[in-house]
Structure 1
Amino acid sequence: MSELRDAAMTSKAWPFEEARAVLKRYEKAPPEKGYVLFETGYGPSGLPHIGTFGEVLRTTMIRRAFETISDIPTRLICFSDDLDGMRKVPGNVPNQEMLKANEQKPLTSVPDPFEEFESFGHHNNAMLRRFLDTFGFEYEFYSATEFYKSGQFDEVLKRAVDKYEDIMKVMLKSLRDERASTYSIFLPIHPETGRVLYVPMKSVNKDDYTITFDDEDGKEWTLPVTGGNVKLQWKPDFGARWAALGVDFEMYGKDHSTNTPIYDRICEILGMKAPEHFTYELFLDANGEKISKSKGNGISIDEWLTYASTESLSYFMFLKPKTAKRLHFDIIPKMVDEYHQQLRAYPTQDIAGQLANPVYHIHNGNVPESKMVVPFSMLLNLASVSAAEDKDQLWGFIQRYAPEATPEGNPDMDQAAGFAVRYYNDFVKPTKKFRLPTDQERGALENLVAALRDEKVALEAIAKKNADAGNADEALPTVDWQDEEFLQSIVFAIGKNHGFEPLRAWFSCLYEVLLGAEQGPRFGGFIALYGIEESIQLIEDGLAGKLVG
């Protein structure tokens, strides 16, 4: 354990770097509350998107890294800002007119448009929790509605009244003059309409902790700030929540970064040390636009899990959190294959390399063995050429390529085969576009067929390639029709011998003529998996124009 801890204290993996920053807060004495508190926030104004999941996953990775370097107990709170007023109606939910009639009410007072839960806020909270539970996160769920109404926030709200002028000074510096003239950190909830009001305060009363204001119709009201009658504006709410809970760490998107000094200062005014924070870059959709709960663009968690494993999504989330990344369906195959590459690399690495490997953080150090004997990208091509409708069809090819593999003994392979068929039919098949070969390509393809039928032709092609490169004395490979390296050497040699410059033009021919795609697999490996006779038939179909339809 001490070797692991020592290595973790110098690891450059970002979860350990952030964990060390949290530990430094308590280098003189442990926390009085008895634990280190990690928090993530969620605004349930729309259905949870994958970025929300990413916050909890990344925070959990930092929490686990902290537990590696420290014996201080930890907690993780997922806090839902469900007392916020619904400022606009999300476009991706039903019952739009009903929602429109409930604008400005707290999300937990807006009827559920899906008619399944007590409110829209309760519905979105349930969706978030279901998503998080799918991944086995250990967290405590906090609802802002309950937090305000139960009195847990009362002491900090009273402190906000006592420090009202100081907090207002912080806020007014960040506001335009027009908004500053009517701004208050307190948002009353109208006793009759239930709407969250954005109105100026006539007075903030320190003697009885109430606020006095006129509503939109000019009627004066006085309400206590406690008991859920009043909520804080979102920026003061951030800092006040940190103070009320004693938060030690929270991460959020880059769009919050300019507000960090405001959050910190309000937390300090309310008597607590500001937490450590980590700002991540935003996710982008296929068009390079920020993904949004209200727009419903990008990929949902459920959509990713329709085509790939939970671990592949976790792998995507680990990579370069401070770099903006496209979050679209076309990245899924790459993430699956890279995840398994890292699994295979893990046992070969020293402890420093293992701590830097994403799979260490995905599996909290209990890293499984990869049972993926065929890459996911290759499965997609196999599904394509075999017109597979279910994973059982793929297993016939897989077991010929790797006879020892079975659905029971290779569950990740079995799962990936099912995902590959689904992904192929939904995304690859609709975009396939075959073409006829050019004269140069036709000659090369005919040569490839001859080489796959006759080892003498195959070895002659390799020998010619060697001679042309000035390596006539180089030993020829051993003939093994199941060896993908031998098959790749044939494909490579024929491309060279037929004058493809650059050589990638030859591989583009193979992909476009035979697979109907712009990119494809290492072709020797594809032939080994698909089979010699099947590959010959595929090439002959391409030459005869049967694939173009």
Structure 2
Amino acid sequence: MTDLRDAAMSSKAWPFEEARRVLKRYQKQAPEKGYVLFQTGYGPSGLPHIGTFGEVARTTMVRRAFEQISDIPTKLICFSDDMDGFRKVPTNLPMQEELKEDLNLPLTKVRDPFGTHAGFAQHNNARLCAFLDSYGFEYEFASATDYYTSGKFDEALLIALERFDKIQEIMLPTLGAERQETYSCFLPVSPKTGHVLQVPTLERNVAKGTIVYQEPDGEKIEIPVTGGNVKMQWKPDWAMRWAALGVDYEMSGKDLIDSVTQSSKICRALGARPPESLSYELFNDEQGQKISKSKGNGLSMEEWLRYAAPESLQYFMYLKPKTAKRLYFDVIPKAVDEYHQQLRAFPGQDLKAQLNNPVYHLHGQDAPQSDMVVPFSMLLNLASASSAEDKDTMWGFIAKYAPEASAETHPNLDQAAGFAVRYFNDFVKPTKTYRAPTDQERAALQDLADALRSEEAALAAIAKKNAAMGNDDALPTADFSDDDFLQSVVFAVGKNHGFEPLRDWFTAIYEVLLGASQGPRFGGFIALYGVAETIALIERALAGELI
């Protein structure tokens, strides 16, 4: 344990760097509340999206890293801002007209357009929790509606009432002149309409714990700030929650940097220390636009899991949180293959390297073994070349390539084969564009087919390439089941036909034979798909049957 802690204290992996910042808060004494509190926030104004999951996954990574360097207990709260007013109807929801009738109600009072829960926020909260539970995250779910109405925030709200002027002094300079005239850090919940009102605070009574405001119909009403009668504005609310709960760490998107700054000032005005924070870059969709719950653009968590195992999504979330990433379907195959590459590397690494390996931050030291003897990208190309409609078809090829593998002994590979068929049919097949070969490419493809017909012809192609390059090395052992030998044959044919740079030859192979601009290491593909099958594929392409 000592060696692990020492290594973790010097690791450059970002979760350990974040964890060490949290630990500095308690160098002199442990927290009075008895634990270090990590928090993630979620606004249930729209369906949960993958960015929400990413925040929980990344915060969990920092929490686990903290537990490697400290014996102080930890807790993670996933907090839902479900008392916010419903300001606009997300375009990706049913019952658009009906939902407009619920505008300005707290999200927990908005009807559930899916008819499964008491309210829209409850539906979204349940979906989020179900997904987080399926990943095995350890967290405590918290509802703003519950915390406000049950009195859990009452003490902090009374302090905010007492220090109202200080909060206003922090917020007003950040607002436009017109907004300054009406801004109040307290949002009354109208006893008449149930709406969350954005109206000025006309009077305050600290001794009674009340405020006075004016209803839209002109009536002045006095209500307590406790018991769920008011909700705080976004930035003061964030600060009040930090102060009330003693939050030690919370990360947020780059678009909230100013909010973090202002909320931190308010938190100090309330007499508490703001948490350590990390501003991460945002996810963009395929058009380069920020993903949004209200737009429903980008990937949903469920969509990712339709095409890949959960661990690949966690791996994607680990990578460079301060770098903007395109989050669309085409990132999935790369994430799957990289995740398994890291799994394969993990057992042979020393402790320092293991702590820097992303899979450590997903699995700890008990990282599973990878059984992906065929990369996911290769499975996709196999599905393409074989027009596979199910994973049984895929296994017909996999079993010849890796006879020791089976669905029972290689469950991840079996699952990936099914994902590959689904991904191919949904995304690759509709966009595949084959082209006819040029004269140079046609001659080279014909030679490649001929070289694959016999070991003698294959060795002759390699010998011809060697002679042209002045290479007098001995020829390799011919073996049509060996990826490297087959790659040498493909390489030699390209050289013999004068492709410069040689990548133009491989691009031609992908575009003519697979209908894509890029593809797998082609020697490995031949070994997987089969030599005879590859010859037949080339012949079909040369006959114009693929176009």
Q: TM-score, normalised by structure 2?
A: 0.99
Q: Report the counterpart of residue 349 of structure 2 in structure 1.
A: 349
SS in 1 for 2:369: coil
Paired with 2:177 and 2:447, the residues of 1 have a C-alpha distance of 77
Distance apart, 1:150 and its partner CA: 0.1
Q: Which moved more, 1:46-55 or 1:456-465?
A: 456-465
Secondary structure of residue in 1 paired with 2:196? coil
Quick one: distance in 2 between partners of 1:110 and 1:532? 61
Separation in structure 1 between the aligned mates of residue 207 and residue 527 of structure 2, nearest angstrom: 82
Work out the percentage of aligned pairs sharing the same amino acid. Answer: 66
Gap runs ≥5 in structure 2 = none
Question: In structure 1, what is the equivalent of residue 503 of structure 2?
Answer: 504
Shift of 1:364: 2.6
The answer as to 2:29 corresponding to 1:41 is no
Counterpart for residue 485 of structure 1: 484
Counterpart Cα distance in 1 of 2:364 and 2:140: 19
1:410-421 to 2 correspondences below 5 Å? 410-421=410-421
Matched, 1:514 2:513: yes
Q: In structure 1, how many angstroms separate the alpha carbons of the residues matched to 2:429 and 2:136?
A: 34
Structure 2 residue aligned with 1:162: 162
Matches within 5 A, 1:182-331: 182-331=182-331
Q: How does 1:54-69 map to 2 (within 5 A)?
A: 54-69=54-69
Give, in whole Å, the separation in 1 of the partners of 2:134 and 2:399.
31
Which digits, 9 at most, give the CA deviation of each residue in 1:399-422, with x for residues without a partner?
111110011111110010000000
3-state DSSP of counterpart to 2:78: strand
1:491: how far off?
A: 0.2
The Cα of 1:465 is off from its aligned counterpart by 1.2
1:382-461 correspondence runs (5 A): 382-461=382-461
Query: How far is 1:365 from its partner?
Result: 2.6
Paired residue for 1:525?
Answer: 524
- Distance (whole Å) between structure 1 residues aligned to residue 375 and residue 342 of structure 2: 13
Please tell me whether residue 20 in structure 1 is matched to residue 20 in structure 2.
Answer: yes
* Counterpart secondary structure, 1:490: helix
Write the distance in 1 (CA, Å) between the matches of 2:109 and 2:442: 68
Post-superposition Cα deviations, 1:313-370, rounded to whole Å, max 9, x if no partner, equal: 0111000100110000011111100111111111121111110110110113320110
Q: Note the alpha carbon deviations across 1:114-172, whole angstroms, 9 max, x for none.
A: 11100011111111111111211010000000000000000000000111111111111
Write the deviation string for residues 6-30 of structure 1: whole angstroms up to 9, x where unpaired: 0000000000000000011001001
Q: Name the residue aligned to 1:71.
A: 71
- Structure 1 position 340 matched with structure 2 position 329: no
Q: For residue 482 of structure 1, what is the amino acid of its counterpart?
A: S
Aligned-pair CA distance for 1:461: 1.3
For residues 513 and 253 of structure 1, the distance between their equivalents in structure 2, rounded to whole angstroms, comes to 43
Letter in 2 for 1:530: Y
What are the Cα deviations for residues 154-206 of structure 1, in whole angstroms up to 9, with x where unaligned? 00000001111111111112111211111100000000100011111111111
Question: Match of 1:83?
Answer: 83
Q: Deviations over 1:275-308 (max 9, x none)?
A: 1011100000000000000000000000000000
Q: Match for residue 105 of structure 2?
A: 105
CA distance in 1, matches of 2:353, 2:232: 46
Q: Aligned pair 1:11/2:5, yes or no? A: no
Q: Which amino acid aligns with 1:545?
A: G
- Alpha-carbon distance in structure 2 between the residues aligned to 1:358 and 1:335: 12
Corresponding position of 2:120: 120
Match of 1:142? 142
2-side partners of 1:470 and 1:291: how far apart?
55
Aligned to 2:539: 540
User: 1:460 & 1:403 partners in 2: Cα distance?
Assistant: 29
RMSD: 0.8
Distance (whole Å) between structure 1 residues aligned to residue 267 and residue 365 of structure 2? 35
1:6-57 Cα shifts (integer Å, max 9, x gaps)? 0000000000000000011001001111100000000100000000000000
In the alignment, the residues of structure 2 paired with residue 546 and residue 259 of structure 1 have an alpha-carbon distance, to the nearest angstrom, of 59
- CA shift digits 1:450-509 (9 cap, x unpaired): 1111222211211121222221x1111101110010000000000000011111111111
Question: Larger deviation: 439-448 or 76-85?
Answer: 439-448
Structure 1 distance, partners of 2:267, 2:222, is 26
Deviation at 1:512, TM superposition (A): 1.0
Equivalent position SS for 2:251: strand
| Aligned equivalents of 1:197, 1:176: Cα separation in 2 | 19
Q: Equivalent residue for 2:173?
A: 173
Distance 2:449 2:111 in 1: 66
Aligned partners of 1:226 and 1:449: how far apart in 2? Answer: 79
Alignment check: 8 A CA contact 2:455 2:479 kept: no
3-state DSSP of counterpart to 1:279: strand
2:38/2:249 contact within 8 Å kept: yes
- Amino acid paired to 2:209: Y
Q: Distance in 1 between matches of 2:400 and 2:261?
A: 61
Cα distance in 1 for partners of 2:424, 2:187 equals 51
Report SS of the residue matched to 1:38. strand
Give the letter aligned to residue 520 of structure 1.
G
Q: Which one-letter code corresponds to 2:544 in the other structure?
A: G
Paired letter, 2:510: Y
1:359 is aligned to 2:376: no
Give the counterpart letter for 2:497 in structure 1: H
- CA distance in 1: counterparts of 2:196 and 2:402, whole angstroms: 63
2-side partners of 1:71 and 1:55: how far apart?
24
Residue identity in the other structure for 1:507: F
1:199 and 1:394 map into 2 onto residues whose CA distance is 63
TM-superposed CA distance for 1:435, in Å, is 1.4
What is the CA deviation profile of residues 430-462 of structure 1, one whole-angstrom value per residue up to 9, with x for unaligned ones? 011111111111111111111111222211211
Q: For 2:439 and 2:180, locate their aligned partners in 1 and report how far apart those are by CA, in whole Å.
A: 73
* Whole-angstrom CA distance in 1 between matches of 2:301 and 2:224: 41
How far apart, CA to CA, are the structure 2 residues paired with 1:175 and 1:546? Answer: 65
Letter of the structure 1 residue corresponding to residue 508 of structure 2: C
Give the distance between the partners of 1:7 and 1:368, measured in 2 at CA: 22
Number of matched residues? 547
Alignment gaps of 5+ in structure 1? none
- SS of the residue corresponding to residue 192 of structure 1 reads coil
SS of match in other structure, 1:173: helix
| SS of 2:37 mapped into structure 1 | strand
Secondary structure of the 2:223 match is strand
SS in 2 for 1:9: helix
Letter of the aligned partner of 1:541 in structure 2?
R
Deviation digits for residues 72-105 of structure 1, max 9, x if unmatched? 0000000000000001011111111111011011
- SS of the residue 1:453 aligns to: coil
